[in-house]
Structure 1
Amino acid sequence: MIQKESKLKDTKQTKAGSVEIEVYTDPLCCWSWALEPQWRRLRYAYQGRLKWRYRMGGLIPNWDSFNDPMHAISRPLQMGPLWMEARHTSGMPIKDKVWFDNPPASSYPACIAVKAAELQSPVAAETYLRKVREAVMLHGQNIAEWQVLRQTGKELAQEHPEILDAAKFEEDLSGREARKAFEEDLLRVRLHNISRFPTFTMRLAGATAGVMIVGYRPYEALEKALKQVAPELEPIPHTTDELEYRRYWGSITNREVQEALRQG
């Protein structure tokens, strides 16, 4: 787990406006899942003021090439203790036993599946990303398996046919366009020298200046970064009600609710 906050190349500020956020992440990243309570709280508080896009980082190409010297991880079994740490630190439920029972061989298939959903819409990408994370983090499913990814798409299409078309998703999942979109994300990861997930880049719409924030962070750190690029930006005033917050997100963990209620 790395915690880092740094300015991007130019620090020029412009007048307040909508903020564009790029989220570099991976469906198999336990710290990205751990940060969901804070990330969801930020989006809820600044509704209509933020625009975001997910970039798939390709955390694990395969276990022959993967090596994380910071956490001394080079084999699937060694990933389990890191997921246990993420669960303990964040309070988010995480099925770390997947690394003992049925370890994913790669995160690339899940990344491609998210990009296949994105070919339909950004909402489809975000909703699918959440559902495929739940599949592994909450239910211990092996999301390196294509049949699991297909089934996740079918379930999402059944629950929300207005968001995802199952037939198109199935076609795009095996098509070239989704893989090309993932390759473009990997290129951006390399260009920005991003080595840890999650990583957020925030900047005002149309600006070249911005802030980069890396790793698992408290909500206050995300909001501080947001204020650095848009000092005049204010959250939408509302009273957070537990039932209202649960309805807003649909599928939600108790830890995410606790984070939202913490703002008082």
Structure 2
Amino acid sequence: MFVDPLCPECWALEPIIKKLQLEFGQYFRLKHVLSSSLTRLNINSKKIDSIAQLWEKTATRTGMSCDGNLWFDNPITAPYITSIAIKAAELQGRRAGIRFLRKIQELLFLEKQNVSNLDVLVECANSINLDTEEFLNDIHSESAAKAFQCDLKILSEMEVNEFPSLVFFNENIEDEGLKITGLYEYNVYVQIIQEMLGTKTKPNPLPPLEQFLKIYKLVASKEIAIVYDMSITEVEKKLKKWVLQQKVKAIPGKHGTFWKYIENED
């Protein structure tokens, strides 16, 4: 899975990836390969306008909230630092890297935080219980920089220049991968997995919604709607009842609501 942490389209792929992992997770392993929009390093006002517009359009079209005003209020100045930070988190385990990437996306798209700022990155590492001291050492280390360079090399070799892109490989290393660029309906990805398996496998049953929230901690109405085949109206009606029961907390975004699971202290 080729992702740019600052790309709203990659953020919009999140609900589909969650559903694929829940329904067909035993049939595939997911490897994240990071890119960084180096073109944004020398951003001028014209570029800022077009990036902000793209964010707003993506949010409106996909239902995954992101606020284009970030580019006027708190612009990202060094995007490659964000990618190196994700690689530093990954040095504490693959799952740690994935949790860190998700947290970065939440801070960026929901809270309009500058995720190339070291203080924000350390706070992010803290919030997902990484070893912060180790993370700080790794972010300045050759290991994280090399890991990111390795991702850029894979990008180049596989001629990936649009995000998100998914490349599907089967167990036979000799076979070429199947590259899918952009954002598609969930069923397209299911069809690809089933074709590669050579059988129409049945999806796993989904966990109860409360369990889903407990696993992922913070999810968008859109994520719940896609995973559970519900309308946004149905999702919000159900979750508003849970707010009253103090199971979740509603976090309004610019283009949709997010729901934070409230851990029971008992």
- Taking structure 2 as the reference length, the TM-score comes to 0.80
Q: CA deviation at 1:61?
A: 4.9
- Match of residue 155, structure 2, among 189, 199, 202: 189
User: Which amino acid is 2:3 matched to?
Assistant: T
The equivalent of 2:263 in structure 1 is: none
Ranges in structure 1 where 5+ consecutive residues have no aligned partner: 1-22, 68-72, 158-163
Change in CA separation of 1:202 and 1:146 when aligned onto 2, cut-off 3 Å: same
Which one is further off, 128-137 or 220-229? 220-229
The equivalent of 2:100 in structure 1 is: 128
Q: How many residues align?
A: 230
The equivalent of 1:112 in structure 2 is: 84
Alpha-carbon displacement from aligned partner over 1:23-81 (angstroms, at most 9, x marks no partner) = 110110110001111111111111322211111111235433x79xxxxx962232011
Which one is further off, 95-104 or 233-242? 233-242
- Match of residue 224, structure 1, among 180, 186, 191: 191
Query: Does structure 1 residue 254 correspond to structure 2 residue 221?
Result: yes
Alpha-carbon displacement from aligned partner over 1:102-129 (angstroms, at most 9, x marks no partner) = 1112321110011011111110110000
Q: CA deviation at 1:240?
A: 4.8
Q: Which has the higher contact order (CA 8 A, sep 6+)?
A: 1
Which one is further off, 49-58 or 227-236? 227-236
Alpha-carbon displacement from aligned partner over 1:229-250 (angstroms, at most 9, x marks no partner) = 2232624431553212222322
Ranges in structure 2 where 5+ consecutive residues have no aligned partner: 232-266
User: Which amino acid is 1:123 matched to?
Assistant: R
Contact conserved, 2:55 with 2:66, CA < 8 A, in 1? yes
Change in CA separation of 1:77 and 1:120 when aligned onto 2, cut-off 3 Å: same
- Match of residue 115, structure 2, among 113, 126, 143: 143
Alpha-carbon displacement from aligned partner over 1:161-193 (angstroms, at most 9, x marks no partner) = xxx322211110111110000001001111111
Give RMSD over aligned pairs.
2.1
SS in structure 1 opposite 2:179? strand
Instruction: Output the CA distance in 1 between the equivalents of 2:46 and 2:156.
Output: 21
Change in CA separation of 1:88 and 1:62 when aligned onto 2, cut-off 3 Å: closer
The equivalent of 2:70 in structure 1 is: 98
The equivalent of 1:205 in structure 2 is: 171
Q: CA deviation at 1:224?
A: 2.0
Instruction: Output the CA distance in 2 between the equivalents of 1:130 and 1:117.
Output: 12
Instruction: Output the CA distance in 1 between the equivalents of 2:71 and 2:148.
Output: 25
SS in structure 1 opposite 2:66? coil
User: Which amino acid is 1:35 matched to?
Assistant: L
SS in structure 1 opposite 2:218? coil
User: Which amino acid is 2:22 matched to?
Assistant: Y
Instruction: Output the CA distance in 2 between the equivalents of 1:57 and 1:237.
Output: 32
- Taking structure 1 as the reference length, the TM-score comes to 0.81
- Match of residue 57, structure 2, among 70, 81, 85: 85
The equivalent of 2:259 in structure 1 is: none
Q: Percent identity?
A: 24
Instruction: Output the CA distance in 1 between the equivalents of 2:201 and 2:134.
Output: 39
Q: CA deviation at 1:155?
A: 1.6
- Match of residue 16, structure 2, among 7, 31, 38: 38
Contact conserved, 2:22 with 2:206, CA < 8 A, in 1? no
The equivalent of 1:27 in structure 2 is: 5
User: Which amino acid is 2:105 matched to?
Assistant: R
The equivalent of 1:152 in structure 2 is: 124
Instruction: Output the CA distance in 2 between the equivalents of 1:42 and 1:107.
Output: 29
Change in CA separation of 1:62 and 1:263 when aligned onto 2, cut-off 3 Å: closer
SS in structure 2 opposite 1:207? coil
- Match of residue 165, structure 1, among 102, 118, 131: 131
